[in-house]
Amino acid sequence: MRSFIKYYVFILFNLILAANLETSEEVPKTEISEKKKQKFELLLKRQTYSFIPYNFTSYSEKTDPNTSIETNHLQQNQKVLVPAVFSYENYEKNYRAEISYYEVELVNPNSNVIRSDSNGLSAERLYYSPLARSEFETNFYKIISPVQNWNLYLGGGLRNINKYTYGKYMLDGAFQEYFYTYGPQISVQSSYRFMENFTANLSLDLFYTEGTRFFKTPMISTDTLVFTNGSAGTRGIFRGYESEISLQYKFHENMRFHLGYNQIYSYFSYLHFDQLDLSYNISSPSSISISNGSRSGNYEILRGFFLGFSVFF
């Protein structure tokens, strides 16, 4: 992640320098009008994401009808990220192309777990496996201007979602479970300039991605060793939406400040999942159990406010 930040800062520094040099030079009017037919933009955001992962939302799924499990107070699930968006806009042909990327990693997420069964009520602090999620998307838009100062961007593209669960393998830099998914999305954006230097922006993406599951066995915890058949042929599915609202301020001909809020809501589910788990309790050698690891779907949410800076060239 640090390498990505250094890379974006290096690009941003050079683009700002180029923009200043460009505005300081005197160019003929014909060249200025020619440049206004198209533009490139690099937008960097400093965003504090609150990540509610599938590992947390699905933990309370019932595997035993005689047991009730409740989870609450998820902690250590916030990260500061630097998502990047690069776009090209052609005013003459009225289209826009855009790519974006981000990655979020939770090292030590944890929550309260309350269990209720025939033996009574118990509570504990559960530490989930380290996990990560990354997204890359590319979109193409047709630009429509219903009225002056208002642009609608209608289009879609491709979204790639990767999801990692590290388990006890994180020290080795390896994963326990990994999903590589991709699929189509529909995207709509609205941009309205209501004052000379202020613009309000809205966007909505609807997506569906599907892909392969990669899995490592055995699974190791502090007191349990779990062997599994790995459920070959299992796939993962994400379906959901991304919404964003922001305010943009132009303080320079080629530079903008952004303040906004972003949310990504996705429902994750397994496809063709039929896994058998054999659990061995290290502290109690005679305790061996076999269970069906079937899982249903549940949601993941990423949301948070951001400050952004963009440069045009």
pLDDT digits (tens, 9 = 90+) for 206-263: 999 999 988 776 666 556 666 666 566 789 999 999 999 999 999 988 899 999 999 9
CATH number at residue 98: 2.40.128.100
Q: Cα–Cα distance between 85 and 45 in angstroms, integer?
A: 9
User: Quick one: pLDDT band at residue 273, thresholds 50, 70, 90?
Assistant: confident
| Assessment of whether the complete model's pTM goes beyond 0.75 | yes
Lowest mean pLDDT among 73-82, 138-147, 210-219: 210-219
The residue with tokens 């303040």 is 259
Query: Do 100 and 83 contact (CB within 8 A), yes or no?
Result: yes
How far apart CA 64 and CA 289 sit, in angstroms, is 14
Looking up tokens 């990994």 gives 178
**Residue with structure tokens 């061996």?**
288
Give the closest residue to 142 by CA, choosing from 82, 88, 96: 96
Strands 131-147 and 198-215 come out as unpaired
Instruction: Please give the Cα distance from 55 to 67 (Å, whole number).
Output: 19
The predicted pLDDT at position 129 comes to: 84
Residues with Cβ within 8 Å of 181's Cβ and at least 6 positions away in sequence, in order, are: 160, 161, 162, 163, 209, 210, 211, 212, 236, 237, 238
> Worst-scoring range by mean pLDDT, 131-140, 151-160, 295-304?
295-304
The angle formed by the CA atoms of residues 219, 221 and 225, to the nearest 5 degrees, is 55
214 DSSP assignment? E
Q: How far is Cα 79 from Cα 262, in angstroms, rounded to an integer?
A: 14
Q: Of residues 85 and 119, which shows the higher confidence score?
A: 85
Number of domains in the chain: 1
Q: Is the dihedral of CA 251, 254, 257, 262 positive or negative?
A: positive
The phi, psi pair for 55, rounded to 5°, reads -55, -35
Domain that holds residue 155: 2-312
What's the chain's length in residues?
313
Handedness of CA 302, 303, 304, 310 (dihedral sign): positive
- Provide the pLDDT for residue 168: 60
Type of residue found at 135: E
